[in-house]
Amino acid sequence: MYDFHNIALTPTQSLLLNVAILSVIVFAVLRSERRLDGSNPLLMLAILAIFGISGRILLEPLPNFQPVTVIVIMAGVYYGAPRAVALAGIIALTTNFAVMGHGPWTLFQVLGWGLVGVSGAYFSDYILKEGQLMLNRLAALAIISGFVFNWIVSLSILLKTDVSMLAPYLINGLLFDLYHAAGNLIFVAWLATPLSEIMTKHLDSSSPKAVSEPVSSTL
Amino acid sequence: MSNELKPISVIAVIVLILLAPTIRDALREEAATYVSDSESSHDGLPESWNNSQVMCVLFPTDSPHSNFNSGVTMIEADGSTYGVNTEFNGTGACVGGFTGYTEGMPFLLDATNATSGDLDVGYDVGDWGPYVHTIGGLNANNLTGNFSGAYWELLHNGEYSMVGIGDLIMSEADVILWRIGTW
């Protein structure tokens, strides 16, 4: 018998493989969304969770390059803080348990992404103008979130060391903060528009925010 | 306006990738200035080493090193033996009298080389940098006992190091200590 699972891949090859798998997942998820009848915000959150979880796991070889931060911001913008925080928790816990490693830092990641989701909800009127996504404003929030999230997670080292280690740790990590910010910019530039079109379709019918179609009530 | 975001995002990533080594080096130097020098990490070491960098290796009671099994042997950078401190908590060896190292891995290799083979290091290079499994003939992976697994634990100036030896930033008078940790 040949052991076909025993093929050794170089890091680049396995990354390409992961990107291919992620593309299949995203394509399949987007196709399945088309079959949904009407508005279904909770199912949309499940779709975002699948996308966030698979994206974070499969892009793991690239340092700090993952779609979770942008997804959580957009969940905050479109569905409000509570659902964004829940989404953040589900993604962080699932990915850490499955692959990335679970520990005290998971709590800090949930808090970090939770805060990112809350800020998305807080700035939702500013980012979403009459149902139109203000891409540049979303990009600005995504870049800032990259830094803030990393710093919140960095605080977890205080469980093991004293405060004096924090400054060198944060300075050393600045390059990874930049990776995270640049990754977020990429995801906003290339994914936010298609994602927002789907999310607009699945808004809460009772949501006072974001109107899916511009209302022309003035005469 | 928003259509410009795609090329901008790609350019930003390319620039970041190109500048990454420069940024990393600059940040390391900056971060090194913040690493506090703990006086107490020099306790029990020769006073002449107070301003120099030191590497200590402590062996577990169950698996002592054949040449360093009573107290901690103090070895100068040139390989000569300074003396043995029997008051030290544990057995093993310290190599000291080094200056000018800023990165952990070259320091580990040079310091252990000074012991003419007694503290030879074995390590694997993985995705996250070098992983030290053997020091002085003791492979942590082979240790068994009332624990799930054992590893060579790295302490930097008496504190658990947050990074591996491959990412460790050193300043003058730093003390690096290796001992067996278990989980």
Provide, for chain B, the percentages of residues in helix, strand and coil under a 3-state DSSP scheme, each rounded to the nearest 5.
Answer: 30, 30, 40
Q: Model confidence over B134-171: pLDDT tens digits?
A: 999 899 988 888 888 889 999 998 888 888 898 888 88
> Would you tell me which residues 44-83 of chain A have a C-beta closer than 8 angstroms to some C-beta of chain B?
61
Q: Are B22 and B104 part of one and the same domain?
A: no
Total CB pairs under 8 A between chain A and B: 73
Whether B66 and B7 share a structural domain:
no
Closest CA to B175 of B60, B12, B24, B54: B54
Q: Which two tokens stand for residue B134?
A: 């053997």
User: Could you tell me if A85 and A93 are in contact, meaning their C-beta atoms sit under 8 angstroms apart?
Assistant: no
The domain that holds B123 is classified in CATH as 2.170.130.30
A33 CB neighbour count, 10 Å cutoff: 15
User: How many angstroms separate the CA atoms of B42 and A52, rounded?
Assistant: 48
Mean pLDDT in residue range B28-47: 73
- Do B103 and B134 fall into the same domain? yes
Q: Are residues B113 and B169 in the same domain?
A: yes
Residue B171 and residue B133 share a domain: yes
Query: What domains are defined for chain A?
Result: 9-201 (1.10.1760)
Of B2, B34, B160, the CB nearest to A171: B34
Least confident of B7-16, B39-48, B108-117, B159-168: B39-48
Verify that B79 and B62 share a domain, yes or no: yes
Residue B15: helix, strand or coil by DSSP?
helix
- For every residue of B77-142, DSSP letters joined together read TTS-EEEEETTSSSEEEEEEEE----BHHHHHHHHHHTTTTTT-EEEEEETTEEEEEEETTEEGGG
Domain count, chain B: 2
Any A CB within 8 A of B11 CB: no
What count of other Cβ atoms lies within 10 Å of the Cβ of residue B181? 15
Report the pLDDT value the prediction gives residue A5, as an integer from 0 to 100: 58
* pLDDT higher than threshold 90 for residue B116: no
Q: Within 10 A of B10 (CB to CB), how many other CB atoms are there?
A: 15
Residues B19 and B90 in one domain: no
**B162 closest CB neighbour out of A161, A179, A188:** A161
Residues B64 and B141 in one domain: yes
Q: What range does the domain containing B137 cover?
A: 39-182
Residue B41 predicted with pLDDT over 60: yes
pLDDT band at B37 (very low <50, low <70, confident <90, very high): low
**Chain B contact present for A191, CB below 8 A:** no
CA distances to A103, A156, B1 from A159, in Å: 11, 6, 45
Q: Which stretches in chain A have pLDDT values below 70? A: 1-7, 205-219
Task: Give the pLDDT confidence score for residue A157 in this predicted structure.
Answer: 83
Q: Is A51 left (phi over 0), alpha (psi -120 to 50) or beta?
A: alpha
Question: Are residues B25 and B44 part of one domain?
Answer: no
Residues of B in contact with A103 (CB under 8 A): none
